[in-house]
């Protein structure tokens, strides 16, 4: 009887042990060792390649027709992304994308900047006419520039000496530069501005093609005269003043200045019954 009781107790204890072991196994949580990063690249037609970096490149994939990408099977860690596409500047994110394994990391939409999109706008606009001779050239960039490279790459034809003035657009992370000629632009002249491919942004990315635009300055003209044209009853001792829209060569201006011939003036006065030619 005692022997049967001992056998029963042994079997019961073994059953409890096995049950306990099974429960422990079912409650054990295995942490994932891999994770994923997803996102969208714009423009979707860029056919960009996205590479995940964990100090070194870990995985790459090409975006689909909608710009979507997914990098899966990534070891746990904090990643950066490099996005590259022909005709666009490289995009490199900060190394702050956590891949924890329990949640897929989703990044904000990545907007690629094309080579010519490096330049946001220029003034004067390409093909502009009648530009004042004291106007500066203004170029606004979409990003921070290597300023020394831009000044070396900047060229104006016909050649004009001048100075560069830079302005930070803090909110937009952009640069703006003014080129002010040392002397006024020549009147009625076509100027061609070229920024060649040695210009680069702060990350060293250069233009793939030269950026060009042109403008034509206003012709030489008279802004106003005193007395005004066809003005009557002007006193004999009145000083004549003429203001031009550009700096004048005094000798040529004096040579070109003429008063009406006295005989013609007298006939004019008689016909109009006036005392003065003006």
For 174-221, write each residue's pLDDT tens digit: 889 999 999 999 999 999 999 999 998 888 888 778 999 999 999 988
Question: What class has domain 34-110?
Answer: mainly beta
Bigger pLDDT: 117 vs 53:
53
Boundaries of every domain in the chain: 1-30, 34-110, 116-217, 222-272
For 19-51, write each residue's pLDDT tens digit: 444 434 455 556 678 999 999 999 999 999 999
State yes or no: pLDDT of 15 exceeds 50.
no
Quote the distance between the C-alpha of residue 29 and its chain's center.
51
State yes or no: pLDDT of 66 exceeds 50.
yes
Q: Hey, what's the torsion of the CAs at 93, 95, 100, 102, to 10 degrees?
A: -20
Give domain 116-217's CATH architecture. Sandwich (2.60)
For 113-160, write each residue's pLDDT tens digit: 876 667 889 999 999 999 999 999 999 988 889 999 999 999 999 999
Note whether 268 and 260 are within 8 A (CB).
yes
Do 34-110 and 116-217 have matching folds?
yes
> For position 203, what pLDDT does the model report?
80
């Amino acid at each position: 009887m005692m022997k049967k009781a001992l056998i029963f107790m042994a079997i019961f204890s073994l059953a409890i042990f096995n049950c306990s072991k099974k429960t422990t196994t079912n409650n054990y949580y295995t942490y994932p060792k891999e994770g994923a990063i997803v996102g969208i690249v714009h423009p979707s037609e860029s056919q960009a390649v996205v590479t995940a970096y964990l100090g070194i490149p870990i995985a790459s994939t090409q975006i689909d027709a909608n710009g979507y990408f997914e990098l899966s099977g990534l070891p746990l860690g904090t990643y950066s992304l490099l996005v590259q596409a022909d005709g666009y500047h490289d995009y490199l994110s900060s190394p702050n994308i956590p891949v924890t394994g329990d949640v897929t990391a989703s990044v904000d939409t990545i907007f690629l900047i094309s080579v010519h999109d490096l330049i946001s706008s220029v003034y004067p606009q390409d093909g502009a006419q009648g530009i004042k001779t004291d106007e500066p050239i203004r170029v606004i960039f979409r990003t921070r520039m290597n300023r020394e490279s831009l000044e070396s790459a900047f060229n104006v034809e016909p050649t004009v000496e001048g100075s560069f003035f830079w302005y930070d657009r803090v909110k937009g992370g952009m640069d703006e530069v003014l080129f002010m000629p040392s002397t006024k632009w020549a009147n009625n002249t076509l100027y061609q501005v070229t920024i060649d491919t040695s210009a680069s942004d702060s990350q060293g990315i250069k233009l793939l093609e030269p950026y060009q635009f042109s403008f034509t300055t206003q012709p030489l003209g008279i802004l106003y005269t005193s007395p005004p044209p066809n003005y009557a009853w002007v006193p004999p001792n009145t000083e004549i003043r003429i203001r031009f829209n550009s700096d004048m060569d005094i000798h040529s201006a004096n040579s070109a200045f003429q008063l009406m011939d006295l005989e013609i003036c007298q006939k004019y006065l008689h016909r109009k019954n006036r005392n003065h030619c003006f």
